[in-house]
């Protein structure tokens, strides 16, 4: 079987000896610096981009260890669309970046108008040999604003994903919540039958004729369930101001957006090993209530 054009070769590895054979489709993507997920590896196999000992690999081929595996670039892969949307960049080097996601835009998805499609327009190209299209490492809800971590090389994207999986990225949010609320506490109610944990601390509060009180709250999620902070705060009777999905009936605030902001990211840089803490100021709509 003919080998693909060697100019398209991205990576070559030798599989370590395995305790027992596994199908190629079940081989861990962690062996590769150029493939950042199991799904991406399976897609590469299906597209004929994975070769075993100079022959095209197929899903059902068995790997026992010692094989040479080549990963080739998909020459038919279409470049993602780009949009001309200015994004504030708080930190950037050749490997990663931290940007501020505006409220009211999806991080990624099938639509053209996403933050992911604005990254190439706002970030400098990486000079690293395994550079790739900038990729968001995590997600923020459509109405949530704040810090978003971006990978610029294949190997760093893999490393950053691992930091998130191992919960080694510290995220801090700020929100404005409705109702009587003092001090702070841990919320540990399950979400979708899964263990969930969030911590809150009330920083300031002001009286409100309609809402009794509005509270500026610092939030730390220790797990990563969908809508976790929004659901947890609603569960204790203090929904986030402007939340149209998890709110008390009659207390919805329309037209101002959700008052939830990802304000701090702390992590170890996967290349320099520097401990980074990136912070950003609260949006102006927060500062109008809490100057």
User: What are the catalytic residues?
Assistant: 141
In Å, how far from its chain's centre is CA 189? Answer: 23
User: For residues 198 and 87, what is the distance between their CA atoms, to the nearest angstrom?
Assistant: 29
Rg (CA), the chain: 23
For the record, the structure tokens of 183 come out as 């001090």
For 118, other C-beta atoms within 10 Å of its C-beta total 21
Asked if residues 67 and 31 have their Cβ atoms less than 8 Å apart, the reply is: no
Mention every residue, 6+ apart, whose C-beta is less than 8 A from residue 20.
64
For the record, the structure tokens of 141 come out as 């809800």
User: For residues 37 and 15, what is the distance between their CA atoms, to the nearest angstrom?
Assistant: 17
Asked if residues 198 and 186 have their Cβ atoms less than 8 Å apart, the reply is: yes
Helix (H, G, I), strand (E, B) or coil at 220: strand
User: For residues 156 and 160, what is the distance between their CA atoms, to the nearest angstrom?
Assistant: 6
Q: Angle at Cα 193 formed by Cα 188 and Cα 197, nearest 5°? A: 20
């Amino acid at each position: 079987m003919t080998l693909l054009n060697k100019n398209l070769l991205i990576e070559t590895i030798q599989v370590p000896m395995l305790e027992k054979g596994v199908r190629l489709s079940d081989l861990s993507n962690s062996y590769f610096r150029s493939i950042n997920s199991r799904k991406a590896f399976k897609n590469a196999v299906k597209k004929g981009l994975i070769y075993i000992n100079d022959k095209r690999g197929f899903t059902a081929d068995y790997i026992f260890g010692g094989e040479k595996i080549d990963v080739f670039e998909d020459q038919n892969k279409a470049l993602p669309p780009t949009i001309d949307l200015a994004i504030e960049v708080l930190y950037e080097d050749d490997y990663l970046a931290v940007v501020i996601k505006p409220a009211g835009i999806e991080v990624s998805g099938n639509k053209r108008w996403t933050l992911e499609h604005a990254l190439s327009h706002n970030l400098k190209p990486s000079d690293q040999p395994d550079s790739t299209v900038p990729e968001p490492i995590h997600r923020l809800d459509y109405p949530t604003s704040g810090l978003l971590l971006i990978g610029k090389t294949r190997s760093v994207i893999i490393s950053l994903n691992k930091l998130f999986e191992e919960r080694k990225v510290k995220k801090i949010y700020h929100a404005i919540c409705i109702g009587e609320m003092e001090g702070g506490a841990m919320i540990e109610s399950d979400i979708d039958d899964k263990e969930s944990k969030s911590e809150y601390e009330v920083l300031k509060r002001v009286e409100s004729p309609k809402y009794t009180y509005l509270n500026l709250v610092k939030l730390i999620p220790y797990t990563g369930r969908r809508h976790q902070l929004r659901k947890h705060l609603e569960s204790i009777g203090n929904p986030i101001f402007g939340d149209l999905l998890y709110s008390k009936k009659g207390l919805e605030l329309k037209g101002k957006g959700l008052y939830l902001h990802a304000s701090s990211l702390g992590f170890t840089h996967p290349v320099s090993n520097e401990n980074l803490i990136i912070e950003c100021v609260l949006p102006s709509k927060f500062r109008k209530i809490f100057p």
